[in-house]
Amino acid sequence: MLQNLGRHEDAIQQYVIALRGDRAVPSRLIGIGVSLQATGRTVDAKEACHRAIDTGELSPDVAAFADQQIKRMDAGADTPPH
């Protein structure tokens, strides 16, 4: 919800809290990656997306989304997905 409101810093804080309980929940890693990308922290965003993919627990659609975001960041397209 915070992401939808454009409150990415707040969203990052909430994801950090959630990830303390389980650092490998792929949906949380994707979520924090989106907000990190939106705040210009591309390196951290890519790491979060890679970690999510590496869990092997993403649905094919979500894995494709994460891969697409990594490719966008590699290409320098730091615009957050919407």
The three-state DSSP-derived secondary structure of 30-54 is HHHHHHHHHCCCHHHHHHHHHHHHH
Average of per-residue pLDDT across 13-31 = 81
pLDDT at 53 over 50: yes
Query: Does some domain include residue 33?
Result: yes
79 is a domain residue:
no
Cα 74 to Cα 22, 37, 64, 67, 69: the distances in Å are 27, 12, 15, 11, 9
Query: Does 82 have pLDDT greater than 80?
Result: no
In total, how many domains does the chain have?
1
Q: What is the pTM of this model?
A: 0.76
Q: What is the mean pLDDT of residues 15-37?
A: 84
Q: pLDDT-based confidence at 6, cuts 50/70/90?
A: confident
Lowest mean pLDDT among 9-13, 34-38, 48-52: 9-13
Domain that holds residue 36: 8-74
Query: How many CA atoms, within 13 angstroms, populate the side-chain half-sphere of residue 44?
Result: 13
